[in-house]
Amino acid sequence: MGVLQIVLFLMLCAVALGWVARHFKFPYPIALVVGGGLLGFVPRLPQPQFDPQFTLVLVLPPILYQAALLTSCASSGEHPPHRSCSRSGW
């Protein structure tokens, strides 16, 4: 299997798992973790080797960025709210 085929297969799996999670009304990260765990047990799937620096530079920043966008200052437990939170209107 080529790299493009592997990436397309994994994206298709992620979309299908997201649909299943939405259909059964549970958080999609749980579906992705369980699906990834099950996918690890499928025999004869190629096991691409990734450089840890590649994962750190290209995968982690988008995850942290999305988490920062979805984090509310009010729910962070700060009392009183931090200056930056009160100025931004959150």
The model's pLDDT over 19-33, given as tens digits with 9 standing for 90+, comes to 999 999 888 888 989
pLDDT digits (tens, 9 = 90+) for 43-75: 888 777 778 888 788 888 888 887 788 777 666
Mean pLDDT confidence for 65-90: 63
* Entry pTM: 0.56
Query: Per-domain residue ranges for the chain?
Result: 1-49, 53-90
Sign for the pseudo-dihedral over CA of 12, 1, 48, 50: negative
- From 73, 77, 75, 71, select the one nearest 86 (Cα to Cα): 73
